[in-house]
Amino acid sequence: MRATDRTEPALWLAQREAGGAVGVREPAVERIRAALLSAQPHFLESDRMLANRTAQVGQMLAVDGHAEDFAQLINSLVEVAATTGQKQTYGQVCQHYYNLRHSGVGREEALRMLAARYRTQKQFR
């Protein structure tokens, strides 16, 4: 999604996930919209950047045979970031998550490992 793109990030991301046109009021858009809203207090990036990175990581995971629901992916990474008590860089959390999944770690275990890793930030503030 380009900086000059006027499409709502939730709609853009839902269209990427569906592989085509999606109506602005469809449930998939609403779920992504809610996920992006819940991400705002936990990540430094804008909704546009969150949508871009989610699409990239989602595509990489799908290539690895680990396709994930985009709204669920965002919500899961919000839970990881929330353990720190401070804003995180979404791209970094996504990259750590992808690296774990790419190396063969299952979804739930990868999220548990990330939460444990990020939780330590809170100890050192």
pLDDT at residue 36 is higher than 70: yes
Write the CB contacts of 106 (distance below 8 Å, at least 6 apart in sequence): none
Give which of 75, 121, 123 is closest to 97, Cα–Cα: 75
Residue range 11-29: mean pLDDT, rounded: 94
pLDDT at 11: 96
pLDDT at 1: 60
- Tokens coding 1: 């999604």
pLDDT at residue 5 is higher than 60: yes
pLDDT digits (tens, 9 = 90+) for 83-109: 988 899 999 999 999 999 999 999 999
DSSP 39-54: HTTTBSS-HHHHHHHH
| d(C-alpha 91, C-alpha 31), whole Å | 20
How far CA 65 is from CA of 22, 61, 69, in Å, comes to: 24, 6, 13
| d(C-alpha 8, C-alpha 24), whole Å | 9
Give which of 17, 76, 5, 80 is closest to 46, Cα–Cα: 5
